[in-house]
């Protein structure tokens, strides 16, 4: 996306893909190119854009789970007041890097534990053949390992929270936590699909609707496990891929 100065405004043209929930938003932020001089990271500015401004078109992208969360936003001569710029002109990358430290930090251990809790409950239910997964040591060992991983994550999350409460930004710790959290989440989701077994097969999005009057196929505990598995494939990409997080850790933490 490029922004050209015009008096008190910028004129923005181009497109921004993967914009989560743009269909609901009244404002968005975007990094726009305001100069082509210097290094690639220079010459970028950070703008807050009114989604009702003339020239903006939002096109939906349906995800793997079949849900409309993502969008591509098109800008056609969109006028954005310069007072909506955050930070200095051409210094938007510094603003974005600071913001990303916060975007990348999340309490992933909470969601992971929620999935593992469902998996454990499901594992203790007796299947049609009279067996229970909870009696299979190989399965329970995987569950135990992921519970240990979730505890380790929670401890590093609390380290970041303690930093935040002392007024410090998360720093590169959020990259470690983001890469690790998203990978453990995906492993927990895989175990969830294993626990759901053949009940992972029915496609039943209506079972997730609030107030639905159609009974689910299979145990109620299993109905969110496959949608979670599908939706969380993006975890190691969105917010910066795991490879990028490892590069940040290599540079900022290990000094490589």
DSSP state of 62: E
Nearer to ligand FAD, 100 or 188 (CB): 100
DSSP 126: P
By CB under 6 A, residue 18 contacts ligand FAD: yes
Say if residues 46 and 85 touch (Cβ distance below 8 Å): yes
Kindly tell me which of 181 and 239 has the beta carbon lying closer to ligand FAD. Answer: 239
The owner of tokens 């329970």 is: 140
Least Å distance between CB 107 and ligand FAD?
19
Site mask, ligand FAD, residues 62-91, x = CB under 6 A? --------x---------------------
Choices 144-152, 217-225, 235-243, 248-256 (CB under 6 A): range interacting with ligand FAD: 235-243
- 53, 60, 243, 250: residue in contact with ligand FAD (rule CB under 6 A): 243
Place of tokens 């210094």: 91
227 binds ligand FAD (CB under 6 A): no
Q: Which of residues 4, 64, 67, 237 is near ligand FAD by CB under 6 A?
A: 237
Q: Give the residue carrying structure tokens 């006028």.
A: 79
Q: How far is the CB of 100 from ligand FAD (least distance, A)?
A: 9
Site membership for ligand FAD, residue 58 (CB under 6 A): no
* Binding-site size, ligand FAD (CB under 6 A): 13
Smallest gap from Cβ 234 to ligand FAD, in A, equals 4
139 part of the interface to ligand FAD, by CB under 6 A = no
- Asked if 55 and 77 count as a contact pair (C-beta separation under 8 A), the reply is yes
The alpha carbon of 168 is separated from its chain's Cα centroid by a whole number of angstroms, namely: 23
**Both structure tokens of 43:** 């010459």
Q: Which is nearer to ligand FAD, 222 or 235 (CB)?
A: 235
Shortest reach from residue 104's CB to ligand FAD, in Å? 10
Per-residue exposure over 202-240, b if at least 16 CB sit within 10 Å of its own CB, e if not: eebeebeeeeeeeebebbebbbbbbbbbbbbebbbebbb
φ, ψ of residue 223 to 5 degrees: the values are: -70, -25
Interface with ligand FAD (CB under 6 A), residue from 1, 19, 192, 195: 19
Return d(Cα 152, Cα 144) in angstroms, integer: 13
Asked whether the beta carbons of 12 and 32 are under 8 A apart, the reply is yes
Q: Rule CB under 6 A: which residues touch ligand FAD?
A: 18-20, 70, 234, 237-241, 243-244, 247
């Amino acid at each position: 996306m490029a922004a050209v100065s015009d008096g008190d405004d910028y004129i923005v043209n181009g497109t921004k893909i993967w914009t989560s929930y743009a269909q609901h938003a009244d404002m968005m932020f975007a990094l726009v190119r305001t100069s082509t001089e210097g290094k690639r990271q220079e010459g970028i500015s950070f703008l807050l854009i009114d989604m009702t401004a003339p020239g903006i078109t939002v096109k939906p992208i349906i995800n793997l789970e079949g849900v409309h969360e993502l969008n591509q936003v098109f800008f056609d001569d969109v006028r954005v007041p310069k007072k909506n710029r955050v930070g200095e002109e051409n210094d938007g990358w510094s603003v974005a890097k600071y913001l990303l430290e916060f975007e990348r930090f999340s309490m992933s251990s909470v969601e992971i534990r929620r999935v593992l809790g469902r998996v454990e409950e499901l594992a203790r239910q007796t299947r049609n053949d009279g067996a229970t997964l909870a009696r299979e040591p190989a399965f329970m060992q995987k569950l135990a390992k992921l519970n240990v991983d979730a505890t380790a994550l929670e401890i590093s999350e609390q380290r970041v929270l303690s930093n935040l409460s002392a007024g410090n930004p998360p720093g590169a710790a959020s990259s470690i936590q983001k890469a690790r959290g998203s990978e453990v989440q995906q492993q927990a989701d895989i175990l969830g699909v294993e626990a759901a077994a053949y009940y992972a097969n029915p496609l039943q999005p209506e079972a997730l609707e609030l107030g639905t009057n159609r009974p689910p196929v299979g145990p109620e505990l299993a109905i969110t496990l496959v949608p979670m598995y599908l939706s969380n494939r993006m975890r190691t990409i969105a917010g910066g891929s795991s490879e990028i997080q490892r590069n940040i850790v290599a540079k900022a933490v290990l000094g490589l």
